Amino acid sequence: MCVPAGSSKHAGRTLRLGICHGVSVKRVAILWLFFVALSGVSARSQDRSISFSGAVSQGQTFRKSIGHGLEFVLTPSSRGGGITGWTIQVSPHGQTSDPQCRDFAWVVTPPYHFQNVLYLNTSYSTTAQEALRASPREFQFVLNCTDFKTESRRVELALGHSTGSKQEVDDAMAKLGSSPLGRGRLWIKRYRITPGRKSEAGVELGAIHWIRFKVEIRFPAGAGQQTKP
């Protein structure tokens, strides 16, 4: 149910999971359990955290330097079809000479198809209400372009998007997400949505007009010694 025009309210929480097309349920389950276990290990080796609050309106981009040559970014949705909201990204600060290395979060924040915690928007027939109830949103990110390319290759092999031997696939699945990782959480504090926006399929999505949020970023021990983005 959408919030009437001009109203606002505090966000609750919901969880959404997606299954990759063409990939067995067993493989997706293995990847998901691996990341859950990895998150527990990573949490014990954290040495520094930062937190900040912010606000952003529909169609605008939010950027905040988080140290180590990185930025936290909320990028407005540009898919059309009545989609509103933002995508959570962690990017190199300033311009990067490598066009592949623009978002360090997606490659280590599964699931890799359909709805994902990085999509703070009304994509995949998610209503505005549902999108904003998913709080906090927990995500991970690599620290540099070299690790991004390594993890991207592992994802492609693990999900069958790239050709490799059985040994290469097994090795990729075993090492997926093993690069030094930062972790983040985003809480939705307040928001404004209105009804009336529909998807191309006619689903009543509502529209997200603005959000106020809090973010916590944690870096792994020794992050200062990692390769620059």
Distance CA 12, CA 44 (A): 28
pLDDT, tens only, 50-89? 999 999 999 999 999 999 999 999 999 877 778 899 999 9
Domain locations in the chain as residue ranges = 8-221
In order, the DSSP letters of 115-150 are --TTEEES-TT--HHHHHH--SEEEEEESSHHHHHH
Q: What is the pTM of this model?
A: 0.77
What DSSP designation does 196 have?
Answer: -
Q: Which residues, listed in sequence order, are joined to residue 88 by a DSSP beta bridge?
A: 74
Percentage of the chain with pLDDT > 90?
57
Q: Which of 18, 20, 206 has its CA nearest to residue 130? A: 206
